Structure 1
Amino acid sequence: MDESSEYDEGELRDSAFRLLAMREQSRTELKRKLIQKQWPADMVKRVVDELTQEGWQSDERFAGSFIREKVGQKQGKLKILAQATQQKGISTETVEDIFESMEIDWFELCAQLKQKKFGDDDPADEKAWNRQVRFLQQRGFTPEQIFACVNRPRR
């Protein structure tokens, strides 16, 4: 039995469009989801390539919306970069280009998150300081950004 009689490429396109209608998808994510629905990998690759060429799927558009969402959640550059490249399959260059075009003040974002979580007061002791630093590291901020907004406890 050949591929065309067993699988309908039109149905595959419809399935891909339904996924894209819900939200933007990266190429990697879209292919993974379609293959999980038991579509043949070679057919999925061909259809996703066509959708990308036609402008229905765009890693740049996806990355922009993904980054805006994560910045809104006050996540740092390192965490966003790792998620976008490792989980979503977006190239580092694309992510860096989007960061640059958005002109995000990572120091200010870090300071806002620190203030929201811990308030305006400096950490009372070394333990509190370590807790604040760890929290901001887990959120994906660089040491330079963290140390700019978390003051050492007074001795």
Structure 2
Amino acid sequence: MDESSSASDKTVSDDTQALKDSAFRLLTRREHSRFELRQKLVKKGWSSAAVAELLDWLKAEGWQSDERFAESFVRDKLMQGQGRLKIVAQATQQRGIARELVEAVLEQQQPDWRSRCRAAHQKKFGDSAPEDRKQWAKRVRYLQQKGFNGDEIFAVLGELER
């Protein structure tokens, strides 16, 4: 009876270690949000309960942090030239980060959205003003897809028309 329970404990211990190893492999490549890590581990076939327990342990030990992930994510998206709306949408909808956390990180970064919008426009279209309504609409759509709001877009296009 002792032999079977110790063998069972060893199997549980081996499974726990294998789950930890899997999580660490993911975390060594890049930061992950709790939501992402949960999805990836469950997709690999680990039980939701075991994953939840491991995620709590990883957070308590400082191996996984949504705050650290949000900082890294926002920094990467800013470097890619994306606007506030797209950054917030991707972080909350695809990565499972709380909107308040993303907003706090953006506030901390204090990007100048208008100059970023101007830079995105210039990179794609140069310094010339749109020649007609069709070209103007194309530029608006492009900047909206990059995640800039209407005020920023219209200000940049207005500057070009002057």
Over the aligned positions, Cα root-mean-square deviation in angstroms equals 1.9
Asked if residue 73 in structure 1 is aligned to residue 80 in structure 2, the reply is yes
The Cα of 1:11 is off from its aligned counterpart by: 1.0
Structure 1 Cα separation of the partners of residues 92 and 46 of structure 2: 24
Q: Identify the structure with the greater helix proportion.
A: 2
Tell me if the contact between 1:123 and 1:151 (Cα under 8 Å) persists in the aligned partners.
no
Larger Rg over CA atoms? 2
Asked if residue 47 in structure 1 is aligned to residue 54 in structure 2, the reply is yes
Q: TM-score, normalised by structure 2?
A: 0.89
Gaps of 5+ in 1: none
Gaps of 5+ in 2: 1-7
Greater alpha carbon shift after TM alignment, 64-73 vs 22-31? 64-73
The Cα of 1:70 is off from its aligned counterpart by: 0.8
- 1:2-151 matched pairs, under 5 angstroms: 5=11, 8-151=15-158
The Cα of 1:152 is off from its aligned counterpart by: 8.5
CA-to-aligned-CA distance 1:39-89 (integer Å, 9 cap, x gap): 011000000111011110000111111111111111110011000000000
Structure 2 Cα separation of the partners of residues 86 and 121 of structure 1: 35
Please name the residue that 2:3 is paired with.
none
Tell me if the contact between 1:125 and 1:153 (Cα under 8 Å) persists in the aligned partners.
no
Q: TM-score, normalised by structure 1?
A: 0.93
CA-to-aligned-CA distance 1:87-135 (integer Å, 9 cap, x gap): 0000001000000111111111000000111111111111110000010
Q: How many residues align?
A: 153
Change (3 A) 1:38 1:107: same
Change (3 A) 1:58 1:104: same
The Cα of 1:151 is off from its aligned counterpart by: 2.6
SS in 2 for 1:150: helix
Structure 2 Cα separation of the partners of residues 101 and 79 of structure 1: 17
Structure 2 Cα separation of the partners of residues 52 and 107 of structure 1: 37
